[in-house]
Amino acid sequence: MKNNILVFLILISFTSCKAQINSADKSNIISETIEYSDFKNYLHLEIKNRENLILVENDIVKAGLKINVKNLNIKIKKKSDILTKNYIEIKKIEVFTKKAELIFYYAIENIEVKTYLFKEDSWKVKKMEIIEL
């Protein structure tokens, strides 16, 4: 019985570390990642129409989510309505108390981006991995 209680308490501590993500944090995490210099190099804003970036609406990104990034016009659309490859599809976002992980696919460059962030006053990128597929 004592062992069962201990196992139960350990499981609760692991599951309670993962936090619910609110819209403001989600928006800030996505914006901070897109604005991060390592990724911004892949945006190629000097190319016509690259300033119009689309986020795929899915279980993570809902219509109405506001993403503000300087020099970009970001819209959220259903994948079936997207007629360009200049889109980002968020695959995973996990938030813990003071850290987060974001994984997305950027179609036009055929890359997957894994970003690790931390939060002090605001979300900041700690590490980014860009995998060319």
Q: What pLDDT is attached to residue 14?
A: 47
Q: What is the pLDDT of residues 47-106, one digit of tens each?
A: 999 999 999 999 999 999 999 999 999 999 999 999 999 999 999 999 998 999 999 999
Q: What pLDDT is attached to residue 59?
A: 96
Which two structure tokens, joined as six digits, stand for 125?
Answer: 């990128």
Asked if 98 and 119 touch (Cβ cutoff 8 Å), the reply is: yes
Pairwise CA distance, residues 20 & 5, whole Å: 25
Pairwise CA distance, residues 7 & 18, whole Å: 18
Q: Is the four-CA dihedral 71, 75, 76, 81 of positive or negative sign?
A: negative
Report the half-sphere exposure of 85 (CA within 13 A, side-chain side): 7
Written as one string, the DSSP assignment of 101-119 is EEEEEEGGGTEEEEEEEEE
**Rounded to an integer, what is the distance from CA 55 to the centroid of its chain?**
10
Question: Average pLDDT over the chain, rounded to whole?
Answer: 90
Q: What percent of the chain has pLDDT over 90?
A: 83
